[in-house]
């Protein structure tokens, strides 16, 4: 069963409903906390008339409430856990106070069922971020625990509408229920991760958006899939890329409308609905198993304006300090393991295991520098305000979405033939058998995760941490 394929056909024939807004927008920055309750809920992920899906969500909804705050303001969220297992919230991409980073067992104890935890932090960067658990995330994110955190610029660019589009995939049974038996399956862990068979946009079956000709949208695209790399194409449109992983970039026009988002990544686009009344533009996923995610549906008679607006100006440059490459601390990270990789064995919990036992006894298949998962010792320690040059060698036949906590980095060397750019990222997609060197200034003290954001790879061993001195 691949609903992903079937949906392509259904979508062409079905009635077009407008995409609802995210369930609830909460403006943070107040004098009292916003309560977010992690709890079970129901979502209509399949078409109307088909069964609903029992999910876990923040306030029971998928996605969770859209949190909105202005740059440099404070977010104060009181997480209440009404699940039957411990959880946390990680604020993906925020250069955050380490105590608020939400990594169970590293920056905090997991929040027990029935307990609460207050997350209180300032947001230094404007942009598009998201939040999700960092405890059993391969299960908790797949069940629907995620939401968007938008940090508004003090002087936001002029657009007619600002839309968050959160794209997720789900592995559902025919009765609409989440396929829970395959959580943590060795097949997923050792291959490309848990790939769903149903796509949702903002928790709905399709991302159809009613627009008018020459309307200008800011689209905040987010990939919250456990493991699916999204090769998106805005058919017939030429969006401007204005930010990546929340951070402003030099404005560039994407002539063919194509954009790749690995799990965890975000892109901000400014897109003009350059067409005539009645036109439709599909948003397609164009990789090996193509499908349609939604359409922009232009009003049949009315235009928003006669001509599209002029190209947008760039957002303010990120306030991130450049690393000093000459004095940087060099760190090597050798990534091994996975199916068809020929790894012989690795260290796990202080003991060397041959690969067969590692798999059979522990369900682990990946290693960083020969070590499976997070151990007591960090991958490296670095003094505060020293730069780090991290050379990541992917010796596996699989792509990986490498994510650094607490810092944004630049890719300063890559051997996959793609050009270097000045983009600040928190997550970077590495091809199989590729080598990337990233650099950042370690200016945020604390214990920070470095892991693959394909959540089954993370669970299967692709996770480590580093420590920035106080
Ligand atoms: Cu990976």
387-399 per-residue burial string, b: 16 or more CB within 10 A, e: under 16: bbbbbbbbbbebb
Q: What is the pLDDT of residue 4?
A: 57
User: How far is the centre of ligand 1, averaged over its atoms, from the C-alpha of 93 (Å)?
Assistant: 18
Q: Across-strand partners of 447?
A: 467
- Provide the pLDDT confidence category of residue 9 given band limits of 50, 70 and 90: very low
User: How far is the centre of ligand 1, averaged over its atoms, from the C-alpha of 151 (Å)?
Assistant: 28
Rg (CA), the chain: 21
Q: What is the pLDDT of residue 5?
A: 45
- Provide the pLDDT confidence category of residue 33 given band limits of 50, 70 and 90: very high
User: How far is the centre of ligand 1, averaged over its atoms, from the C-alpha of 30 (Å)?
Assistant: 38
Q: What is the pLDDT of residue 12?
A: 33
User: How far is the centre of ligand 1, averaged over its atoms, from the C-alpha of 168 (Å)?
Assistant: 17
User: How far is the centre of ligand 1, averaged over its atoms, from the C-alpha of 305 (Å)?
Assistant: 45
85-99 per-residue burial string, b: 16 or more CB within 10 A, e: under 16: ebbbbbbbbbbbbbe
For 329-468, CATH gives 2.60.40.420
Q: What is the pLDDT of residue 26?
A: 73
Distance CA 296, CA 308 (A): 16
On the question of a common fold for 163-303 and 329-468, the answer reads yes
Backbone φ and ψ for 255, nearest 5 degrees, come out as -65, -40
Q: What is the pLDDT of residue 11?
A: 36
Q: What is the pLDDT of residue 290?
A: 85
User: How far is the centre of ligand 1, averaged over its atoms, from the C-alpha of 189 (Å)?
Assistant: 9
pLDDT at 214 over 60: yes
Average pLDDT over residues 363-390: 97
- Provide the pLDDT confidence category of residue 154 given band limits of 50, 70 and 90: confident
Exposed, middle or buried: residue 429 (CB in 10 Å: 0-12, 13-18, 19+)? buried
User: How far is the centre of ligand 1, averaged over its atoms, from the C-alpha of 452 (Å)?
Assistant: 5
- Mean of per-residue pLDDT scores for the chain: 93
User: How far is the centre of ligand 1, averaged over its atoms, from the C-alpha of 186 (Å)?
Assistant: 14
Q: Specify the pairing of strand 435-442 against strand 380-382.
A: unpaired
Task: Write the CB contacts of 206 (distance below 8 Å, at least 6 apart in sequence).
Answer: 11, 14, 17, 19, 292, 293, 294, 295
- Residue pLDDT, tens place only, 66-98: 999 999 999 999 999 999 999 999 999 999 999
User: How far is the centre of ligand 1, averaged over its atoms, from the C-alpha of 400 (Å)?
Assistant: 4
User: How far is the centre of ligand 1, averaged over its atoms, from the C-alpha of 367 (Å)?
Assistant: 11
pLDDT at 264 over 60: yes
Q: What is the pLDDT of residue 208?
A: 85
Q: What is the pLDDT of residue 13?
A: 33
For 163-303, CATH gives 2.60.40.420
Distance CA 393, CA 370 (A): 12
Task: Write the CB contacts of 181 (distance below 8 Å, at least 6 apart in sequence).
Answer: none
User: How far is the centre of ligand 1, averaged over its atoms, from the C-alpha of 92 (Å)?
Assistant: 17
- Provide the pLDDT confidence category of residue 18 given band limits of 50, 70 and 90: low
Q: What is the pLDDT of residue 267?
A: 98
User: How far is the centre of ligand 1, averaged over its atoms, from the C-alpha of 462 (Å)?
Assistant: 7
- Provide the pLDDT confidence category of residue 24 given band limits of 50, 70 and 90: low
Exposed, middle or buried: residue 122 (CB in 10 Å: 0-12, 13-18, 19+)? middle
Task: Write the CB contacts of 246 (distance below 8 Å, at least 6 apart in sequence).
Answer: 93, 125, 126, 127, 128, 129, 151, 266, 268, 426
User: How far is the centre of ligand 1, averaged over its atoms, from the C-alpha of 411 (Å)?
Assistant: 18
- Provide the pLDDT confidence category of residue 6 given band limits of 50, 70 and 90: very low
Q: Is the CB of residue 185 less than 8 Å from the CB of residue 138?
A: no
Out of 2.10.10.90, 3.40.50.1370, 2.60.40.420, 1.20.1640.10, the CATH code matching 16-154 is 2.60.40.420
- Residue pLDDT, tens place only, 235-248: 999 999 999 999 99
pLDDT at 17 over 60: no
User: How far is the centre of ligand 1, averaged over its atoms, from the C-alpha of 372 (Å)?
Assistant: 13
Instruction: Name the residue ranges covered by the structural domains of the chain.
Output: 16-154, 163-303, 329-468
Q: Which of 19-33, 110-124, 181-195 has the lowest mean pLDDT?
A: 19-33
């Amino acid at each position: 069963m691949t609903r992903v394929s079937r949906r392509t056909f259904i979508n062409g024939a079905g009635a077009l409903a407008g995409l609802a807004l995210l369930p609830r927008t909460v403006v943070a920055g107040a004098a009292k906390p916003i309560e977010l309750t992690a709890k079970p809920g129901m979502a209509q992920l399949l078409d109307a008339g088909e069964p609903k899906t029992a999910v876990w969500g923040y306030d029971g909804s998928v996605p969770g409430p859209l949190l909105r705050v202005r740059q440099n303001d404070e977010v104060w969220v009181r997480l209440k856990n009404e699940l039957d297992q411990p959880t946390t919230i990680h604020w993906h991409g925020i250069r955050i106070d380490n105590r608020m980073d939400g990594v169970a067992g590293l920056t905090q104890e997991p929040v027990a069922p029935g307990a609460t935890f207050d997350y209180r932090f300032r947001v230094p960067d404007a942009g598009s971020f998201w939040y999700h658990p960092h405890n059993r995330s391969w299960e908790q994110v797949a069940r629907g625990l995620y939401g968007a955190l938008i940090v508004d610029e003090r002087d936001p660019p002029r657009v007619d509408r600002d839309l968050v589009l959160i794209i997720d995939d789900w592995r559902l049974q025919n009765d609409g229920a989440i396929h829970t038996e395959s959580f943590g399956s060795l097949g997923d862990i050792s291959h490309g991760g848990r790939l769903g068979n149903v796509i949702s946009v903002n928790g709905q079956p399709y991302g159809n958006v009613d627009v008018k000709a020459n309307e200008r949208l800011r689209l905040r695209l987010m990939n919250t899939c456990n493991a699916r790399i999204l090769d998106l194409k805005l058919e017939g449109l030429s969006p401007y890329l204005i930010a990546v992983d929340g951070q402003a970039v030099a404005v560039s026009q994407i002539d063919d409308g194509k954009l790749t988002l690995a799990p965890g990544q975000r892109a901000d686009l400014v897109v003009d609905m350059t067409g005539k009344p009645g036109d439709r533009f599909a948003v397609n996923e164009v990789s090996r198993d193509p499908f349609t995610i939604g359409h922009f549906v232009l009003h049949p008679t009315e235009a928003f304006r006669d001509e599209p607006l002029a190209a947008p100006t760039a957002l303010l440059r990120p306030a991130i300090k450049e690393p000093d490459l000459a004095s940087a601390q060099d760190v090597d990270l050798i990534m091994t393991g996975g199916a068809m990789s020929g790894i012989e064995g690795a260290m796990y919990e202080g003991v060397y295991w041959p690969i067969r036992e590692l798999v059979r006894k522990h369900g682990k298949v990946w290693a960083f520098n020969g070590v499976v998962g997070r151990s007591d010792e960090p991958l490296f320690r670095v003094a505060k305000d020293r730069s780090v040059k991290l050379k990541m060698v992917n010796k596996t036949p699989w792509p990986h979405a490498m994510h650094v906590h607490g810092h944004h980095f630049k890719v300063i060397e890559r051997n996959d033939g793609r050009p270097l750019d000045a983009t600040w990222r928190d997550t970077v997609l590495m091809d199989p058998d590729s080598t990337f060197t990233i650099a950042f200034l370690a200016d945020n003290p604390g214990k920070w995760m470095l892991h693959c954001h394909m959540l089954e790879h993370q669970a299967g061993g692709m996770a480590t941490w580093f420590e920035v001195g106080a």
